[in-house]
Structure 1
Amino acid sequence: MDNPFFKPTPDHLRELVLDYLCHQSYTDTARAFAQESTSRKVDEDKSEEVLPEKILKLVQLRREIKRSIMSGRVEEATQLLNEHFPAVLDETSEDPPPPHSSNSRIHFISQTSVKPIHLSLNLRILSFIESTRTIPLEYPPNKSRPPSRFRYLDDPDLTTKHQDELLHRAQKLYAEVASLANQKDRETYLKELTHVGGLLAYREPEKSPLIKYLSQERRSAVADQVNSAILYRTGRPAISHLELYARYTSALWSFMHDLHVPLPPAASRPPGVSLPPNTPITAPSKASGPAEKESSEVVPLFNLQQLLNLR
């Protein structure tokens, strides 16, 4: 088994960090880390790129798209998608082959849809939500400057015109959702539009019971879904290997904990191996001999947050 997850080498730590930085769209940090952590062998061969600019360009584009969505500039993000990643919103695009870098038996299946029709609708609904705002939501937030209302609210004629435009956009969304071929999709999106359309009933929706639809979390959810779809369409894993291994470890330890698998004796553990921070739990034991007592503790749960807090 040649998977680095099972047979790690010193270089795998560097690869894990670099993969994580690229997945999170930290372009400058990834470039600097790649250059500073390059081995001497690569330094001697100047013809070999530390981190191909082609990859960095894709990372930067994903970052720009995500930032546009997080800032509420949905049309700008859609334009970037159509220009650089057209398959993401193209309903005729075929499913790509499995990620080329995934040679393991450990895979992650995204819980969010990567279907173009779903992504397109989610972006359009978010765009509609953004157009109902009366108070800007800055990203990143500027705490030193209090939010101000849009100027058109002070002009009755402009307010009426804006409401008419919103109503027209809502009608177009309803028509598109009603034409969906999949009945379950129709029901799901019609229910969503019913709630979102309620924003039109309030002069200042930020002060209404529907304020949750105007939250930054809403933007973040769509941005993450689009980012996963870009990775999927470009043949990349939906999450970084570091997150995948953390999820795998957490699930594996949780499974063994639920089955009350006893811990192996300390003497049989590899040198340098320590248990994750947790409260030991004693497994029910029928015997009471010394050997049984030594292995009476069960495998603890793996709490990643608790582990990180100790570092």
Structure 2
Amino acid sequence: MSSSSSHIYTPTPPLTHRNWQVNTYLFHLYQSFISQKRALILDYLVQRCYTRTARAFAADSTIRHLDADGDEIRRPHGEDDALGITEEVLHQADLRRDVQTGILSGRIDDTINLLNDNFPSILSSSASTSAGTESTTHKVEHSQSRRVRTVLPFTVEPAHLYLDLRILAFIEASRTKPLPYSLSRPPTSDPELIPRISPSSNFRDPSGEADGDAHLARLLKHVYELYDCAQALQDPHERAEYQHELSAVSSLLAYKVPEQSPMAKYLAQERRQLVADEINSAILYRAGCHPISYLELCVRYNTAIWNYMNEHDFRVPHSRGWPAGIVLPSRSQPMPPSAPLAAKVSVSRQDDLEIVPTFDLSRFLSTST
């Protein structure tokens, strides 16, 4: 055999069963990560009623299964994507979006009608608030409301939701200047809601003429009705909270132009947004869905964990020795080591450790790519 035979190319041995198992595991791990990330984004978009974006993202991010020739494998008819969204879910999100738009536009009476038509369970006990309900039903709903408060800053109790909407309706009727709300796109099910704001007949007349006096009388009657609804609440603490809220809100009547008064905060768009978020969460809760998105839960979890570790001076090896792409949350400024821990750790080890920073969502988003 010639010397050149030692340079003959030897083909790579065929893939072993062990290597095949490892590659298959890594492939499925990657697919699982992509699927979970996709589900997290879709859940947030649907929960926030961004249905047009959710449809586009679902179509563009669908995981396509290919055969050996690279052709897409048709899935059996009726087989759903477990991490996808259905048209029914999107339709319900569109209805919730219409409710949100009504509140954000200040059209509270229209919103209550939408809720009664499409989500009757949300305000189901509002009509019978003053008449009272069975004690067992009230206790069940009250306990449910208490449980959900550990997750939500809102209430899901129908009587509370109705009161919050009626209080907002009073605020809207107390305006002397319109507060228009613009949206980048019209709602799907009721495009008439978008260009409209509260009609001029709902505004107070600061001139104090006859029509203004009549409107003021209607507002006073509205206040008395709100106090009656608050008085009908069975829990004394809740009753006191709403009565305190009503005493503050009703002071809007003391000013000829409340938008220029110390009570102007009640007339801000943020008040509408707060009620809109409360109603949206209540609809999801009554439908058996999670009332807040998984993305928000993840942010809460990371904020609590990272802040706890930072508060207790947890230290980790310096990130310069970590794999590429893995970093600690960014910090606004370097933090000095704590004195008690510094005394226990040698100088040589101090260079290899750093205090865990706090988690700040705004800073995290601004530094992420």
TM range (shorter): 0.7 to 0.9
Cα deviation 1:231-266 (Å, max 9, x = unaligned): 111111122111211211121111111111111355
Cα deviation 1:16-41 (Å, max 9, x = unaligned): 11111111110111011111111224
- The CA deviation at 1:301 is 1.2
CA contact (8 A) 1:285 1:296 kept: no
1:305 aligns with one of 362, 365, 368 = 362
Task: Give identity over the alignment, percent.
Answer: 38
- In structure 2, distance between residues paired with 1:246 and 1:117: 31
CA pair 120-239 structure 1, distance change in 2 beyond 3 A: same
Give me the CA root mean square deviation. 3.0
Q: Which residue matches 2:328?
A: 275
Higher relative contact order, structure no. (Cα contacts within 8 Å, ≥ 6 residues apart): 1
CA pair 43-167 structure 1, distance change in 2 beyond 3 A: farther
CA contact (8 A) 2:281 2:292 kept: yes
CA contact (8 A) 1:250 1:302 kept: yes
Deviates more, 1:172-181 or 1:221-230: 172-181
Letter in 1 for 2:257: E
Q: Which residue matches 2:252?
A: 199
Give SS of 1:44's match: coil
- In structure 2, distance between residues paired with 1:295 and 1:16: 35
Cα deviation 1:126-174 (Å, max 9, x = unaligned): 01111111111000299xxxx9x95773683322221121111111111
2:64 aligns with one of 23, 36, 40 = 40
Letter in 1 for 2:164: N
- In structure 2, distance between residues paired with 1:299 and 1:254: 8
CA pair 172-43 structure 1, distance change in 2 beyond 3 A: farther
- In structure 2, distance between residues paired with 1:306 and 1:271: 20
- The CA deviation at 1:180 is 2.1
2:273 aligns with one of 193, 196, 220 = 220
- The CA deviation at 1:280 is 3.9
Give the TM-score normalised by structure 2: 0.71
Please show how residues 13-162 of structure 1 align to structure 2 within 5 Å. Answer: 13-41=37-65, 44-45=74-75, 47-48=78-79, 51-91=85-125, 109-140=151-182, 150=200, 153=205, 156-162=209-215
Is residue 244 of structure 1 aligned with residue 297 of structure 2? yes
Give SS of 2:329's match: coil
Cα deviation 1:156-203 (Å, max 9, x = unaligned): 332222112111111111122222221112211111111111122223
Cα deviation 1:197-237 (Å, max 9, x = unaligned): 11222232222221111111111111111111111111111
What runs of 5+ residues in structure 2 fail to find an aligned partner? 1-30, 66-71, 126-136, 185-196
Give SS of 1:238's match: coil
- In structure 1, distance between residues paired with 2:238 and 2:342: 51
Number of aligned residue pairs: give it. 291
CA contact (8 A) 1:123 1:222 kept: yes
Letter in 2 for 1:198: S
Letter in 2 for 1:88: I
